Amino acid sequence: MTGDQQYWTGSPAVGSRPDEVPLLLPDVDLRLATDRGVFSAQRGDRGTRFLLLEGPPPRPDAAELLDLGCGYGPIACALAVRSPGSRIWAVDVNERALDLCRRNAKAAGLGNMVVTSPDGVPADLRFDAIYANPPIRIGKPALHDLLTRWLGMLAHEGTAHLVVQRHLGADSLARWLTDQGWPTVRRASRKGFRLLDVTAADTPPVDGDCFSSRRRHTRSLRDWSSDVCSSDLAHF
């Protein structure tokens, strides 16, 4: 396996080679420490950037937010900047990634982040929103188990925002989620990526009750920031 392909393991066998990548968004400007053995170590991932530009901002009253599979922390750090009144849970199984995420949070002065392995999350905690670029390559059974566990921790009226590559099964995953009782709609598509909104199982769906290509009429982070320019999405 190459370094990046080991990102879903607890202790990557590949040797360390520290690096840095920029996280530059209309409202976020950070440099994040990375290393071999974590996801997208050499440059920012296009799917993650798509999620951070097109995904909806957290609700103003959101208390608990989850970055599932946080890696070195681009999603969690962006959420912490954008929602300073929320507690951001950055969760991963990869110890190297967790160490990097902690360092990046500290370097950015983000005191509202909790960086932990899955075992460090209280079982009775409920999330107002989940943001994730899920590890599709772990295989369908493991992915389904992962999503079943964490989507079950959504609060009433909570929503998960998942970015998935179309050719890696985004549409079939959306249908599976809907069949399992989590109504799923496609918020946006760009250059092979799907952005899916997944509603908590006990919440009435918005604009329909099954997987749909219709966009939800909620604002994206791109709409939310008045400073964003058209070139931001041109980088995908």
Q: Give residue-wise pLDDT tens across range 20-35.
A: 999 999 999 999 999 9
Structure tokens at 95: 């110890």
Least confident of 136-145, 165-174, 198-207: 198-207
pLDDT(212) > 70: no
Alpha helices in the chain (DSSP H): 46-54, 74-82, 95-107, 140-151, 170-179, 221-224, 231-234
pLDDT(89) > 90: yes
All structural domains of the chain with their residue ranges: 15-234
pLDDT in tens, 61-74: 999 999 999 999 99
CATH code given to domain 15-234: 3.40.50.150
Structure tokens at 216: 């939800």
Q: Closest by alpha carbon to 101, among 89, 90, 87?
A: 90
CA 205 and chain centroid, separation: 21
SS3 11: coil
The larger pLDDT score, comparing residue 115 to residue 231, is at: 115
CB 134 within 8 A of CB 106: no
